[in-house]
Every structure is written in structure tokens, then in C-alpha cells.
Amino acid sequence: MKNRIKLFLENFFAYGFINILNKIVPLLMLPIVTRMLPNTSDFGRFDLFNMIINFGSSFAVLGIYDAIFREYFEKDDLQYKMKVTSTGMQIVLLSSFVVMLILIIFNKAFSQIFLGDANSTFIIVTAAIGVFLSANRNIISAPTRMQNRRTIYVVSGLSNSIAYYGLAILLVYIGLGYQGLIYGNLIASLGILLFFWILNKKEFHFKLYDKEIAKTLLKIGLPLLPVFVIYWAFNSTDKIMITHMLDVAQVGIYSIGARVASISQFIYQAFAGGWQYFAFSTMRDDDQVQLTSKIFEYLGIISFLAFIILIPFNQWIFNLLFTGDYTKGAEVFPYLFLSPLLLMLVQTAGNQFLVVKKSFYMTLALAVGVIVNIIMNFFMIRAYGIVGCSLSTLVGYAVSVLMVVIVTSKMKLLKLSKKFVILSVLMTTVVLSLFFKLYWALCILVILALGLILIGYGKDVLRLLKSFKKKR
């Protein structure tokens, strides 16, 4: 068990370091970009461009990426593994081309839906190209992830970020405005796609397409498609609703808050990068449920601590980085910071559904969460503006976590301690006290939460760190 925990921690910290490097460049460039685009509406349009790419990619990938990951470890046979990757690549190549064409053909209709007018077709057409590049890049880079070649991600991710922002800032500087950010995005996406193709092309062969494997991949992947659409809905319907109920300028402020809040992605993406390899490579172990439950609790504690630590520095961070209306992004920051961390918990427990090949439970839990999110948005945006919208997103994720935990516990696929349940309830009251500005109550609740973490988990953490150091 210690060796497996060491494997998870090594992947967690290694991918954490990788993703910190990859995220540092965008965060450092963000104050520069916002000063070059002082109108928050321009940044809002660029963020809607990214939102559309994520929307199209959800359909284009068809859940095949995760299906490849699952099936790749089914047999210890090199030929079979190559058939899995080759078949998955050809499915996504076709589906991404179809999605790109649909977006281009119906560009005016999608412009009205996503941007509130029929005159932003440039954003739709360029996003369609971005969908094709993004979907195929995900599949072509998959062998690198499945073979756990972590160093490659340091080089490729960091180089891609530097190239993208360097080019994008140059294009904005010469007068292209937010369109410069879009062009830079597409060129950088093409570059990283070509990089991974050169690196992994030996893993893909058109002649190795296998109909039976294709059926298996689709059987695993298609039930996950709604899951990825729901992920997109969690991250994007709020922006669409803000566009229609408020304006694009508010989308820009909200998006800046979300971008800075993405520092929590350091934790989430470190987890995601190391989790799939770890989860599927240990899925047949006898004590898999116990191990997964422990990891769930530890990740929950990390999430809660990160949230508590950043609360006092919220407004200071935005005043330091931004000027003008962009500083208002501090209002949505705390709730959007915690949301991806709750998604991490959803995926940790929800991966148990993949192990037993009952992924529809994951879909159901996320669907309920996003419905709660959308319904709350109708009322919260009117009452509290973009701050209410950010809390609605957080509540939606919390509902999904609760549902996944309940179902996996009933199926005896997860077993959480009572102290973690109490801590989770306590953190809920912390969030509500912050939202309603009950600062005295907030201070007391934070102290109680920290005390519970120290008393309940202090010894476990010290024991884990000691065993990790010994193994090194």
C-alpha cells in the first residue's frame, strides 16, 4: 500500500510541478493582456471563444480519451494497445471534422446562442477550427500520458504557453485586439498538435483500426459524453446567462475572476494528471476501496486548506494584478477557486463507477448538479449579479459531490470517516458566512475547521510524509 501511495504522490507532485509551470506563464501574462485590452467586453469575447472550443470538443472527443485510458490497461499486449490508440484516433478524427463543419455551417445560429447576437460569426468559425485541433491533440498526446512520461509535459506545456502568449501579445500590440489572442491560440494549438504527432506517431496506424475495439471504446466513452457536456455546462452556462441577463462586459469581469481562480487548477490538474494512471493501474487491488477513500479524504483536506488560506488575500491579489473594472473579479474568486477542487472530489469517487463499468451513475450525479446550478443562476444573477452566479456554480458541484458519495457508499465502493463528514458540513457554513459577509462567524468557523483538521488528520499526514521520505 505504501508503494502505491508513493506512486500516487510522485505523480501528484510531478504533475503539480508541470502544471504550475504551464499555468505560471498565463497568470504572469494576464495583467499584461488586460492592460492591453482595457475594455472588459473584449476579454469577455475571447473567453467566450474558449468556451465554444470546450463545448465542441466535448462532442468531438465522444468520451474516447477516457475510454482509451481504460482499455489501454485491459491487456498487457503491445499490439492490442496500438489497436486501442489507433482506433480511438480515427474515431475522433472523423467526429471532430463533423463537429467543425456543423459549427461553420450554422455559425449565425451559434453566434446568437453563445454571444447574444448573429454578428459574431468570426468567433464561431475560428472556434470551430480550434475544436478540431484541440480534440485531435488530446488523443494524439494520450500515449505520452498513458506511458507516464512526465518530463515531456514540462517541455511541451511550457513551450506551448510561452509561444502562445508571446505571439498573442505581439498580435494584440500591432492592433488586432482580442482577435490577436484568438489567432495566437490557433497557431499554438497547431504547433502542439504537430509536436505530439511527431513524438507519438509510431503509436498510431490507420491499418490497425479494429471494429470490436471501436465498439468497446464507444460503449465506454459514449455514456461519458453527457458527463463532459455537463462539465462544459458547469464552466460555461454561467457566462452565457450573464451575457443574456447582464452584458459581455460582466462576462469579462467574471472571466478574469475565473482565470485567477484557476490557480486551484494547480492542485486539480496535478491530481488529474497522476490520477488516471494510478487509478486504473491499481483498480484490481484487494484494498482498492480503502485506498481510494483515503485519497478522497486527503484531497478534500488539501482543498479546504487552500480555500481557507486564500480568503484573506482575495482583494489584495486583484488590486495588485489588475486595474479598472477587472479588480471586481475578486468578488467571484473564492467560489470559483473552490469549484474545480470539488470537481476533483467528484472524479475521485466517480472513478469507481468507471472501474465497475457503470459510468451512467457519474452522468446522473453531474446532471443533477448542473441543473441545480442553472436554476440557481436564474435567481442568483438577478439578486446578486456575477457573485451569485459564482456561488451557484459552487453549489452545483457540491450537490454532485454529495450524490456521488452517497451512491458509491451504498455500492460499498467508498467509505468515508465521520470526522471528514463533520469537516465537510463545517466548510459549508464557512462558505455561506463568507457569501453573506458574516465575518465574525467566518473567523470562528475557520478556527474550528483548522482545529478539526489538525486533531483528526495531523498524525496521518506526518506518518505519510515519513514513509514517503524513507521510500525516497
* pLDDT given at position 106: 94
Asked if residues 427 and 304 have their Cβ atoms less than 8 Å apart, the reply is yes
Considering only the C-alpha atoms of the chain, give the largest distance between any 2 of them, rounded to a whole number of Å.
Answer: 67
Whether 309 contacts 341, CB under 8 Å:
no
Q: Tell me how crowded residue 232 is: count the other CB atoms within 10 A of its CB.
A: 20
CB 390 within 8 A of CB 336: yes
Q: Please give the grid coordinates belonging to residue 351.
A: 472513478
Determine the pLDDT at residue 389.
96
Are residues 242 and 250 in contact, defined by beta-carbon separation less than 8 angstroms?
A: yes
How many CB atoms lie under 10 A from the CB of residue 165? 21
Q: What is the pTM of this model?
A: 0.79
Query: What does the block give as the cell for 426?
Result: 463545517
Domain positions in the chain are 1-24+246-472, 37-222
> How far apart are the C-alpha atoms of 202 and 363, rounded to whole Å?
34
What pLDDT does residue 468 have? Answer: 45
pLDDT along the chain (472 residues), means of 10: 54 58 73 90 92 91 84 76 89 95 95 87 95 92 75 74 87 91 93 91 86 87 79 86 92 92 72 55 65 85 90 90 91 93 86 75 88 95 95 95 93 91 95 94 94 83 56 50
Question: Smallest Cα–Cα separation from 66: which of 362, 268, 403, 336?
Answer: 362
**Cell 469579462 belongs to residue:** 252
Query: Amino acid letter at 171?
Result: L
**Among 27, 62, 64, 59, residue whose Cα is nearest residue 127:** 59
310 burial via Cβ count (<10 Å: 0-12, 13-18, 19+): middle
